[in-house]
Structure 1
Amino acid sequence: MTDTTVTRNYGLDILRVIACYMVIQIHTGEFYYIGDRGNVLNTLDANWVCWYNSLCRICVPLFVMISGFFLFPVKDASVFFKKRFSRVAIPFILWCVLYAFYFYFRGDATLNATVTNIVHIPVNYGVEIGHLWFVYMLLGIYLFAPVLSPWIQTASRKSMEFYLLLWCIAFCIPYIHLIFPAIWGEAFWNHTPMLYYFSGFMGYVVLANYIKRFHMEPARWNYVAGIALLVVGYGITAVGFSMRLPTEKFVNTLELTWSFETINIAMMTAGVFLMVKNIQIKNTGSAILKLVADISAKSYGIYLAHIMVLNVVHAFWDGRLASAAVKLPVIAACTFAITFIVIKILSFIPKSKWLIG
């Protein structure tokens, strides 16, 4: 998913590449702490996943911030939807079909089940390829963008800060729930409590545009604040996961501090965004920078395709390496590189944008 501006911000290209790699490393780690039926594997390898991948949890929020950065203004809703949905939804549907056949050829689904999965695509996924949840969330942000656009463009600094303050409080609720299971109107029959409308990924979109409007110029405090946010956020994320690893039986409770909608993940995401957004590139014609821009442009295709490659790479390396300390970066890096090459090759096919975005 590539956006163009008058002056290209190579810092955001770098962020997109980093986020893309982090997604792959997160999914690599799942082999080493998730057991059958979602139970927790409390092993030495799981501890390595904790310390490595706690940082990588910023991947999805970074993608949302980068997309949100280029999202506004929405001047014509019909043109906006046609452009955004064609670039995101059509490749998504095609990959849902490909994953359905992928499951069939792996022997994980019958032909009848494969056809059923394809027919099921308008409802949800088609097959249980979990990483595709991201696309539904992104399309939801696009649907709301024309509504949000006037406020994003004209809101005062104080009003945006007020929103972000309430958003941060909402992101603390998962931890408040450890003491008070229901707060501010929550009940088993009410899923829209007081700060419901300030929660979720839309806050990352607002944060990106707040920085764009009021803090885009390079400043020393960006790095001071960025490092502080990253260190504190990582400490909460990793230590929290590590402390819960010996006691939690199921992944959904183990990953409390790994949730994308927690204050510590938001802190790390904001910190990294602040530090990288204004990276200055002197030699914009260098081969490395061209490679970064190319990977950035193909990041959506890499995101959609990488699970197929990851399963093959994991099968090759898992038995050849002793510890997840080595397995995680090796498998993730190989998967990242191979998937990029595959998407690069596919990009030469006519009309390839409908497949790789």
Structure 2
Amino acid sequence: MQDNQYSLSADQIRVLATIAVVVLHVSASGVSRFELNSGAWWLANLLDSFSRVSIPLFVMLSGALLLLPPIDSVANFYRKRVARIALPLALWSVFYSGWTLLKGEVKQQPVPATQLLDNLLNGMPYFHLWYLFMLVGLYAATPMIRWLMLSLKASYAPSPSFYLAIAVTASTLYTLGFTWFGDSWPWPLWFIGYIPLFMLGAAMWGRPSNQGRLALLAAFILMVVIIARLAYTQLSEYPQFGAIYSYQYLSLPVLAASVCIWYLLKRPHQKLAPYTRLLAPYCFGIYLIHPVFLDVSHMLLSKIAIDDMTKMLVQIPLVFALSLLACIFYKAINSRLLKPVFAG
């Protein structure tokens, strides 16, 4: 595969996953707030179901980008990862702790310092930063995972189907144990469940699907419908369960949807290339900053007399656009002091 195709394919996955994250965080609020089975709720549910592929796509792409290239020095690898993840994680944890305090003051609901400390120790200074905490574990384990994959390749030359079977098995075990332990593991262990996806991304990178685009798109839409229907069934018939199984990133329907959309995005779409290349450098920054604009837009739109469905449809592009503009503004001022914050 040529370098330009490689970059475009990776950027397509990165951009779609970033858009899906914004859609997810807007629509998830609607799922919890709107009246169950209303038109607005079903739209939020479908958007939420569509966007659940976001984190699996990010993890699979990370696997392709980190496990395939040779690691010349483990020390150099870790040094680069510290700059890539650890520093932004520390800076943004501080920022969002301050943001949490500010929100508490605005709402006249002060947040105690002990709560901020608990959030940090639990790997969630703000709701979206859990992903970076999970990535710390994946990055730490990358040299060992790469060695394992190379050993398997030398001895057995497994196909992508082998790694897909591992991912399906892990997802099945997660499904069987979901009602037992849910997501109660401490954050240093979160990465364990994502190792199969990490390996799957590397295994599938250079292997195109035998299925056509229409078949893959139809399968993806079917999985989205299944995710949405299962979510409705659980909320309507089993409301005692706090977490919705089909929404979980490690659930079977989300795994199937992620594989379908992965193969769709692996094929370079040249007509979208200019937009993809424009957005791709800002994806990490958009991921990090978008909750600020999510909170602000929610506060502002709540004061406008429009229906819930319209608010949600307005909020999605608004949050994404403001987040993108913030990243572009940062690049324009080109401050060395803040370089690690938005660097993606």
Bin for the TM-score computed over the shorter chain: 0.7 to 0.9
Residues 1:28 and 2:26 aligned together: yes
Identity %: 20
CA gap of 1:69–1:353, structure 2 versus 1, over 3 A, is farther
Cα separation, 2, equivalents of 1:345 and 1:236: 40
Shift of residue 151, structure 1, vs aligned partner: 3.2
Distance in 2 separating the partners of 1:11 and 1:332: 24
**What CA distance in whole angstroms lies between the structure 2 residues aligned with 1:343 and 1:321?**
31
Rounded to whole Å, the distance in 1 between the matches of 2:157 and 2:220 is 24
Number of residue equivalences: 326
Give the C-alpha shift of residue 59 in structure 1. 0.6
In the superposition, the TM-score normalised over structure 1's length comes to 0.79
Task: Letter of the 2:41 partner, please give it.
Answer: A
Deviations 1:97-116 (A, max 9, x none): 111222223334999945x6
Residue 337 (str. 1) matches residue 318 (str. 2) = no
The within-5 A match list for 1:133-144 is 133-144=130-141
Alignment match, 1:356: 342
Secondary structure, aligned partner of 2:121: coil
**Residues 68 and 225 from structure 1, CA distance in 2 versus in 1: closer, same or farther, beyond 3 angstroms?**
farther
Distance 1:203 1:177, change over 3 A: closer
Question: d(CA) in 1 for partners of 2:37 and 2:225?
Answer: 21
Say which structure is richer in helix: 2
Shift of 1:330: 1.7
Residue 230 of structure 2: which of 240, 245, 262 is its match? 240
Does 1:299 find its partner at 2:278? no
Q: Work out the CA distance in 2 between the residues paired with 1:18 and 1:321.
A: 31
1: distance between equivalents of 2:194 and 2:323? 27
Q: CA deviation at 1:150?
A: 2.5
Q: How does 1:74-223 map to 2 (within 5 A)?
A: 74-108=71-105, 113-114=112-113, 123-125=121-123, 127=125, 129-153=126-150, 155=153, 156-158=156-158, 161-176=161-176, 200-213=193-206, 215-216=207-208, 221-223=211-213
Q: Kindly indicate whether residue 64 of structure 2 is the aligned counterpart of residue 64 of structure 1.
A: no
User: How do residues 312-327 of structure 1 correspond to structure 2 at under 5 angstroms?
Assistant: 312-320=296-304, 322-327=306-311
- Distance apart, 1:290 and its partner CA: 4.5
Whether the 8 Å CA contact 2:123–2:129 is kept in 1: the answer is: yes
State the secondary structure of the residue aligned to 2:267: coil
TM-score (structure 2 length as normaliser): 0.82
In structure 1, what is the Cα distance between the partners aligned to 2:115 and 2:176?
A: 39
Aligned Cα RMSD in Å?
3.4
State whether structure 2 residue 32 is matched by structure 1 residue 47.
no
List runs of 5+ in structure 2 lacking aligned partners. Answer: none
Gaps of 5+ in 1: 283-287
Whether the aligned pair in 1 keeps the contact of 2:17 and 2:53 (CA below 8 Å) is yes
Q: The residue matched to 2:25 in structure 1 has which SS?
A: helix
